[in-house]
A and B are shown apart, each in its own frame.
Chain A
Amino acid sequence: MNMPLTPQQVEAPAFGFHRLQKVFRSKDGGDVIALRDVGFDVRQGEFVTVVGPSGCGKSTLLRILAGLERATSGAVMLGGKAVTGPSRDIGVVFQAPVLLPWRTVLQNVLVPAQIQGRDIKVATERAMHYLTLVGLEKFATKYPGELSGGMQQRVGIARAFVNDPMLLLMDEPFGALDAMTRETMNLELHKLKERTGATIMLVTHSIPEAVFLGDRVVVMSPRPGRVTQIIDVDLPRPRSLDMINTDRFGTYVSGIRANLNAAGGLD
């Protein structure tokens, strides 16, 4: 399904999917449709969250945008160009922090800058800037093994920001964290987004997380993975954790849950 652009939207979208299809060939020779006819555009500076149960293809969607997987058919556009592989304009955060244990926190944050041959002096300043934003400036010379899970994931976020990417992709970045750390991280990510104005797509299976963080929530249902609903989250920014207990927040959450239930999503 294709969501039409609103007329007042003159600027080019940051990225967009158009009639995207992904079919996996399973071992027994049958085809499994992971994504069917997915299409939506995301504005510059927008925070879009994709929510859905396992098997709905939301991670596949993100991986296609990151250039780690090819779509079977359809188009993926990033900054006006078709995505053909990993892009220098994208920063990624996975569920596991995936830090290199032999590098210090700062050296880990610098990995993308080194890969892309950026000026290391400039990159180091930026790395320290983002480490400060995630509250880890004092841990720059520590090794990942000395950090807690939540701190490691914050290093991963700083790393994703270090090249000032056009677009930040986050695949269940807080999925491995405990509930309390997760809430704190949500708040921090929200603040980071407010300060940097980055365009972010975050994939999650937590409906409250999707609502709390997103300007828009893309709801997906499984087998075949498709977009069933795109919701504008009309909650004031900056958002605070108290907001989670408001009726309006609850309405969004229950609305999405009902939609997923109707699609047979939450089994």
Chain B
Amino acid sequence: MNSSALPLKTPPSASNDSPDGAVTATATATPKAPRETTGLTPTRRRMLMVGFFVLVMAIWHFAVLLLEVSPLIFPGPRAVASALVELFQSGEIVTHLGVTLYEILAGFAFGAIFGLVLGALIGQSALLEAVLYPYVVAFQTVPKVAVAPLFVLWFGFDTTSKVVITATIVFFPVLANTIVGLRSAPRDQIELMKAFTASPWHVFRMVRLPQALPYVFAGLDIGIVLAVIGAIVGEFVGAQAGLGYLILQRNFSMDAAGMFAILVVLSLIGLVLHSLMKFIARRVIFWTDAFTDLSRGS
């Protein structure tokens, strides 16, 4: 195409027209693409999921049994299951679970809000990006585990230091995704708004912000899972309660099965929070397939 060879700023449509009427369709409305399906009924899919779980458990069970690993080092699934039951029956876990959940959710909330606001500012302003972003990246490069002792020093052994650590971990993926999202709006959508005399605020609110939401939710989804890690890292450095504290306690008493049980609880927390995030995302950004399972046919 001759027009594309010219190094000048041509409108998007100009590169598409050709004398013979051959036109490339530019789909900006992001219509739903035909979805790949696994061709499974929900029941069969669920059966496969359960079957695979049983298989993994069986392999674990027999591997520990046949290799004669000491249960003090690597317990089998039955030992872990009974430790798990014990954990809940004694009620010991309740306070610790509450503390850690609080740290995860509060840290996530602060980190996400901070990431969203700063991301919105940096995404809108080239100046702020030039001035602020290097520091943000530099801070992100520092391993949070390494700064965690400082936070405990500053904010104490209480939950506050864990909330802060969690927030700093959640912050970056939300920020980075918000920035990219706000810049992902197709040019002709913005041009059209301008042609209708839209102010920058209109463009932001009516196009950029909704367009950024799938990216933001991807960031939040990463953030919520990282929040679990953040809270545990904080508790490892110094805490009086929480699941991380409980793991360390079990470690001191050489209770491997108990540690495994808490790890299972942590994984379940992550799974539930991630599913919740997906559930919310699917309803908020209903117009994309970004958070729809491949197996869910439309």
Contacts and interface: CB of A to CB of B under 8 A. Distances in A.
Interface residues of B, number: 48
Contact of A26 (B7, B186, B287): B7
B158 interface: no
B132 interface: no
A68 B193 CA distance: 11
Interface string B5-29: 0111111111111110101111111
A86 B3 contact: no
A94 B186 CA distance: 13
Contacts of B16: 95, 172, 175-176
B30 interface: yes
Interface in A109-150: 111-112, 114-116, 143-145, 149
Nearest to A171: B13
Given A26-B8, A68-B191, 16 more contacts: A25-B8, A32-B6, A53-B19, A55-B2, A55-B6, A67-B195, A95-B23, A97-B28, A100-B210, A101-B29, A114-B202, A116-B196, A169-B195, A175-B16, A176-B16, A205-B17
Interface in B220-264: none
B197 interface: yes
A97 B27 CA distance: 8
A216 B1 CA distance: 29
The 3 A-B pairs of least Cβ separation, nearest first, read A24-B8, A101-B287, A112-B196
Contacts of A114: 202, 206
Contacts of B207: 100
A95 B26 contact: yes
A152 B210 CA distance: 19
B46 interface: no
A152 B192 contact: no
Interface size bracket, A side = 35 or more
Most chain A Cβ neighbours within 10 Å, of B32, B196, B285, B288: B196
B202 A172 contact: no
Contacts of B25: 96, 149, 176
Contact residues of B: prevailing secondary structure:
loop
Contact of B21 (A91, A98, A171, A205): A205
B37 interface: no
Interface of B: 1-3, 6-19, 21, 23-32, 186, 188-189, 191-199, 202, 206-207, 210, 285-288
Most chain B Cβ neighbours within 10 Å, of A99, A102, A111: A102
Interface stretch (A5-13, A39-47, A58-66, A230-238): A58-66
Contact of B197 (A59, A88, A172, A176): A88
Given A24-B9, A54-B14, A86 B195 contact: yes
B143 to A, nearest CB: 38
A185 to B, nearest CB: 14
B196 A111 contact: yes
A59 B29 contact: no
A92 interface: yes
Nearest to A205: B17
A92 B19 contact: no
Contacts of A53: 17-19
A158 B197 CA distance: 17
Contact of B29 (A88, A91, A98, A266): A98
A95 B21 CA distance: 13
Contacts of B191: 68, 94
Contacts of A247: none
